[in-house]
Amino acid sequence: MSRLPKTITCFLLLLTIYPFSLLSAAELSPPSISESKARTESRPVAKQQPDGHSKEISVFALSRDGLYALTGDEDEINFLWDVKSGKKIREIGKPDPVRIWVVAAAFSPDSSTLVWSRYRKHTPVLWDVKSGKKLGILLSRENGHKSEVVSLAFSDDGRYIASGDMQGVIVVWNVKDRSVVHRYQAHSGEISQIIFIPGGNDFASAGIDGAVYLWNVEKGKAIATLLPPSDDIVTSLTVSSNGSVLYAASDNLTVKGWNLALRSLRSTITFKDRLINNIALSPNGNLLAVIEEDESVQVWNFREGKPAWSNHLQDSALTAGFSPDGASLFTSGGDNWVREWDVSTGRLLRKFGGVVE
């Protein structure tokens, strides 16, 4: 055989063997920790919806019974989901020709009604969950909102809705006749969050002015100041299921907790170098879910005084919420998916709501 054919033969042999050698080496080499996390996060864990979100989820609301979830994105696409199956029930806004950018939403305690507000609109909308029909709007020319409504909450008995706007005004509405019960100039600037205290008609509010106040729907002024105004913006509130403890996260990297009966500070947790987007308290009050700006979610164990687990996210999530039995934690925002985590192990169970582009 001449020299040229021998060279060609060797070359073809190398092309045949070399890729399999690389494959064998890759299969035998253990993945790095970062690779393991990436694979866990990217692994399909649920049947993907063909018509879910393709843009980042900017609003997420979970019904109290854990049956329904509302998601909305900045592309003005909003869906109602069956949480158990992860299947879409319907799109909010259709068949209306005008697209709706939902910026805040809340379910009634019995999950029959949804209240939501739109971008640059000052009239919250009442919506029937089962039929998908609009029930009406919350409007008062004299005592209603004059700027965009950015925070909403139902009272524990479903009789009242509290809404907060960009100018720091809170309006309490009677759901039955949609009348105004009280109007407060509560904060100097945007309302970060409103949350009702279980077991009564007290509610707490937080604002970008750094303050946290307690209110009662029957009184025309604040009944307590938990945090006075400061330069530290309060980003999130959460309350225990028995209404005894309220927690607030601030951009000074702390989470503070108050005994509501005594109106006294009971604990402060410091998260070094980690801004907090959102917090949620487990139904039994033992665990605190913390959504951090550094693209991670962690569950803090109060009894042990340390994190039970922490997981990396592809993007920084915006919201968190526990299932009614406390077995699952839902996170959303940062991308187009809602994720369900096993609370006991920190394992990602599934994700739903998004589409793969």
Give me the architecture of the 271-357 domain, per CATH: Beta Barrel (2.40)
Average pLDDT of every residue of the chain: 87
Q: What is the largest CA-CA distance in the chain?
A: 103
Mean pLDDT of 285-298: 93
Render pLDDT for 31-49 as a digit per residue (tens, 0 to 9): 332 333 333 444 444 444 5
How would residue 95 be classed by pLDDT, with cut points 50, 70 and 90?
A: low
Least confident range of 17-31, 113-127, 258-272: 17-31
Band (pLDDT 50/70/90 cuts) for residue 94 is low
pLDDT at 30 over 60: no
**Amino acid 97: pLDDT:** 57
- Note the pLDDT tens digit of each residue in 203-223: 999 999 999 999 999 998 999
Burial level of 317, CB count in 10 A (0-12/13-18/19+)? buried
56 near 337, Cβ under 8 Å? no
Of 29-43, 44-58, 294-308, 337-351, minimum mean pLDDT range: 29-43
Domain limits, the chain: 271-357
* Residue % of the chain over a pLDDT of 90: 77
Q: Reduced to 3 states, what is the DSSP secondary structure of residue 36? A: helix
d(CA 290, CA 288) in angstroms, rounded, equals 6
171-197 pLDDT, tens digit per residue, is 999 999 999 999 999 999 999 999 999
